[in-house]
Amino acid sequence: MSNLGVILRLNIKKLQDGLRTQFLGRNIVFSHAATSTNDIARELANKGADEGTVVVSETQTSGRGRLSRTWMSPFGGLWFSAILRPRLKPSDASKLTFAAALAVAKTLRGLYYLEVSTKWPNDVLVSGKKTCGVLAEMSASGERTSYVVLGIGVNANFEAKALPEELWEKATSLKTELGRNINVERLFNTLLENLESIYLQSLKRGFLSVLEEWKTFATFLRTQVKVTDENEEWIGVALDVNVDGSLSLELQDGTLKRIFVGDVSVLTE
């Protein structure tokens, strides 16, 4: 087993004492090799786990992205999922993706002074390359959200080259960008504190206040982008992200298009 795994495990145990949160991470469920922390968190949430329960794993054997895509989760990364029980309409629950991405962006900038940006809908980039992805999944009954599982993956203490070659152009890690290992415990701790405070802000003051702050990191806005979904592809200027979480694109013929699901790549001339 890698040393990093051992360090992460020990630190996570110690971490709970020093964590300055009200509820997030008060209960931490640790695993060496989960299938997916989102799956474990959903099982726990279905059994009634408290809001704030966090599942952390040193590696994931079936880490997932959106649309069942594979999320590479080697040792050294920070892979975790938080159970939240917000009083939100089910249609609003996915907006917590922006809260999580903002928390990661603020944390990475604050701790490491890196060039951090957010990219619609769920990416956090360092020097223009994906370093973190967020996967929000929810369960609802009728018009009530019973829980949201917020899965966050940060490429921390492994070299970007540990990822498959096809990702090298668009993905990086903190270790590669900083040229050193980071203190994963501190990252986790600070990230949970920021996430809790942004989550509470979003419930108290509304999603718009979170979105406005998220946009301050969104350097892809007002640039030429390509947006793809499973069937189509559009090229245009990314104008704005709306309060419903959709992306407004000005297409090359001047028409406006609202996109609800997709992937953005920034086009460089």
* Site for ligand BT5, rule CB under 6 A: 36-38, 60, 63-66, 69, 71-72, 79-81, 122, 130, 133-135, 151-153, 155, 163, 167, 171
Q: Could you tell me the smallest distance in angstroms from the CB atom of residue 161 to ligand BT5?
A: 12
CB of 142 to ligand BT5, least distance (A): 27
Instruction: Report the residue number, 137 or 240, with the smaller CB distance to ligand BT5.
Output: 137
SS3 110: helix
User: Taking the complex as a whole, how short is the minimal distance between the CB of residue 221 and ligand BT5, in angstroms?
Assistant: 18
Q: State the minimum distance, in angstroms, from the CB of residue 20 to ligand BT5.
A: 23
Q: Of the two residues 72 and 111, which places its CB atom closer to ligand BT5 in the complex?
A: 72
Angle at the Cα of 166 (from 62 to 218), degrees rounded to 5? 85
Smallest CA-to-CA distance from 51 within 170, 160, 129, 146 is with 146
Question: What count of other Cβ atoms lies within 10 Å of the Cβ of residue 105?
Answer: 26
Nearest residue (CB) to ligand BT5, 106 versus 119 = 119
Q: Which is nearer to ligand BT5, 155 or 202 (CB)?
A: 155
Cis ω before 74 (30° cut-off from 0): no
The distance of closest approach from Cβ of residue 253 to ligand BT5 in the complex, given in angstroms and rounded to an integer, is 28
In 119-150, which positions are buried (b, 16+ CB within 10 angstroms) versus exposed (e)?
Answer: bbbbbbbbeebbbbbbbbbbeeeeeebebbbb
| Nearer CB in complex with ligand BT5: 61/209 | 61
| Token pair 């980071």: residue | 182
